[in-house]
């Protein structure tokens, strides 16, 4: 009697697919990922089926015209779509682990299973940290690596997309560092009023930052913030009162669980990996400043050219068994050019950056 067996290559392919789906789904930002223009992190997999080294994201801004009413002729009163684009170049991301014979049998599939938890945890952290770095990046350069000139140019181009502390007046023209130096530990902590101000500014920006839409017409922004800023917000009397009066009472209340906070159509999430800007604020010595990222639709673009693939290798007389993961992807904060050719004076598309006090715990 002939029995059907599963080819090893097919089994590995199925494992790879499951690994990819599990680690993406378990990412800190997973619930905000999607393939359409309503997602904070927009995914594209165009290059998984064809050759190429970059993926272009189309950015179509909201219509601003009033249209016509009554018998007014529509022809000649049309509005041109305000379209922009952002191309993301992909690169290889890979890592590997080694399992000895004492820990695992020699079967290739079992070896992948043994390494699965370790590699998945690494991949999750890598993707999480890539998104966090992208949110704070300066025109494609990680904040920590950007020069003062690059930061000043970003600061100028994104005048309507940045807030320093609790007042618009803290903004110093053409000088990012001087604007940070206006953030103090008394007036400029993260408070409900600051969140509402940031939201209003994001909605009034040109073009405005689009909120994500849920259930057809519910509009939400999401604020990713540093733990010190989240601490100040959670301890704010107005926020505490809102949690007591407006949210569920008992053990599930954020006052006890440390979970997400909600204010004025904004979900506030604590992200431990966001770094503070040490000694950049007001005071003697100068306080640390904590960045926060108020995100709407199409804040970040994530382009995949190759989903996760695994490979195995045996060394040391078949005693050490290695398994590697590899994928080809690119990830950037989406930006659009406001000058000729869509390439000059870039603005952040779906991110409003908020800088508040980030004083360390005493």
Residue 49's pLDDT is what? 66
As a whole-number percent, the residues of the chain with pLDDT over 70 amount to 87
Q: Residue 173 is encoded by which pair of tokens?
A: 């023209």
Check if the beta carbon of residue 160 is closer than 8 Å to that of residue 201: yes
* Domain with 282 in it: 157-299+349-357
Residue 41 CA to residue 45 CA, distance in Å, equals 13
Taking the CA atoms of 62, 68, 70 and 73 in sequence, report the sign of the dihedral they define.
Answer: negative
Structural domain contains residue 78: no
- DSSP for 158-177, written as a single string: TGGGEEETT-GGG--TT-HH
Check if the beta carbon of residue 336 is closer than 8 Å to that of residue 347: yes
Residue 343 reports pLDDT greater than 90? no
Structural domain contains residue 293: yes
Check if the beta carbon of residue 112 is closer than 8 Å to that of residue 321: no
Residue 267 CA to residue 362 CA, distance in Å, equals 28
89-109 pLDDT, tens digit per residue, is 999 999 998 888 776 665 655
| Number of domains composing the chain | 1
Most confident of 56-65, 227-236, 340-349: 227-236
Residue 174, phi then psi, degrees to nearest 5: 65, 15
With left for phi above 0 and alpha for psi between -120 and 50, is residue 281 left, alpha or beta? beta
Residue 340 reports pLDDT greater than 60? no
Residue 6's pLDDT is what? 47
Structural domain contains residue 190: yes
131-190 pLDDT, tens digit per residue, is 999 999 999 999 999 999 999 999 999 999 999 999 999 999 999 999 999 999 999 999
Residue 11 reports pLDDT greater than 70? no
Structural domain contains residue 64: no
Structural domain contains residue 81: no
- As a whole number of angstroms, the longest Cα–Cα distance in the chain is 86
∠ CA 353-32-156, nearest 5°, is 20
Q: Round the average pLDDT of the chain to a whole number and report it.
A: 86
| 297 or 338, higher pLDDT | 297
Q: Residue 356 is encoded by which pair of tokens?
A: 């508040």
Structural domain contains residue 56: no
| 255 or 362, higher pLDDT | 362
Residue 17 CA to residue 21 CA, distance in Å, equals 6
Residue 258's pLDDT is what? 47
Residue 257's pLDDT is what? 42
b (16+ CB within 10 A) / e for 39-78: bbbbbbeebeeeeeeebebebeeeeeeeeeeeeeeeeeee
Structural domain contains residue 215: yes
Check if the beta carbon of residue 166 is closer than 8 Å to that of residue 188: yes
pTM of the full structure: 0.87
Check if the beta carbon of residue 86 is closer than 8 Å to that of residue 336: yes
b (16+ CB within 10 A) / e for 230-266: bbbbbebeebeebbeeeeeeeeeebbeeeeebbbeeb
Q: Residue 130 is encoded by which pair of tokens?
A: 């890539």
Structural domain contains residue 233: yes
Residue with tokens 């010190």: 228
Residue 243's pLDDT is what? 82
Question: Where is average pLDDT lowest: 20-29, 290-299, 318-327, 339-348?
Answer: 339-348
Q: Residue 325 is encoded by which pair of tokens?
A: 């993961």
111-124 pLDDT, tens digit per residue, is 677 777 788 888 88
231-255 pLDDT, tens digit per residue, is 999 999 999 998 877 655 444 544 4
Q: What is the dihedral of CA 135, 141, 143, 145, to 10 degrees?
A: 150
């Amino acid at each position: 009697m002939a029995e059907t067996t599963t080819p090893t290559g097919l089994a590995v392919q199925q494992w790879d697919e499951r690994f990819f789906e599990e680690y993406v789904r378990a990412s800190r930002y997973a619930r905000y990922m999607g393939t359409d223009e309503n997602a904070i992190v927009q995914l594209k997999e165009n290059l998984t089926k064809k050759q190429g080294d970059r993926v272009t994201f189309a950015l179509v801004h909201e219509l601003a015209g009033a249209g016509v009413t009554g018998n007014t002729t529509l022809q000649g009163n049309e509005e041109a779509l305000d379209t922009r684009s952002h191309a993301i170049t992909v690169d290889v991301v890979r890592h590997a682990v080694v399992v000895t014979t004492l820990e695992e049998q020699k079967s290739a599939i079992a070896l992948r299973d043994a390494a699965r938890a370790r590699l998945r945890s690494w991949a999750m952290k890598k993707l999480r940290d890539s998104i966090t770095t992208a949110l704070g990046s300066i025109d494609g350069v990680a904040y920590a690596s950007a020069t003062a000139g690059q930061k000043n140019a970003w600061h100028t181009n994104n005048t309507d997309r940045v807030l320093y502390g609790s007042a618009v007046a803290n903004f110093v023209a053409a000088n990012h560092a001087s604007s940070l130096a206006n953030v103090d530990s008394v007036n400029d902590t993260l408070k409900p009023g600051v969140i509402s101000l940031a939201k209003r500014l994001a909605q009034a920006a040109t073009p405005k930052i689009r909120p994500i839409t849920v259930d057809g017409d519910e509009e939400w922004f999401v604020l990713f913030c540093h733990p010190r800023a989240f601490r100040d917000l959670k301890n704010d009397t107005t926020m505490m009162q809102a949690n007591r009066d407006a949210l569920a009472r008992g053990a599930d209340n954020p006052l006890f669980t440390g979970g997400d906070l909600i204010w004025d159509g904004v979900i506030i999430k604590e992200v431990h990996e966001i770094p503070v800007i040490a000694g950049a604020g007001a005071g003697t010595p100068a306080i640390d400043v904590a960045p926060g990222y108020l995100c709407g639709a199409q804040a970040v673009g994530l382009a995949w050219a190759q989903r996760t693939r695994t490979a195995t290798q045996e060394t040391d007389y078949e005693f050490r068994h290695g398994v590697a993961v590899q994928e080809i992807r690119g990830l950037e904060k989406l930006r659009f050019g406001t000058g000729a050719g869509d390439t000059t004076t870039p603005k952040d598309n779906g991110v409003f950056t908020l800088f508040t006090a980030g004083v360390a715990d005493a």
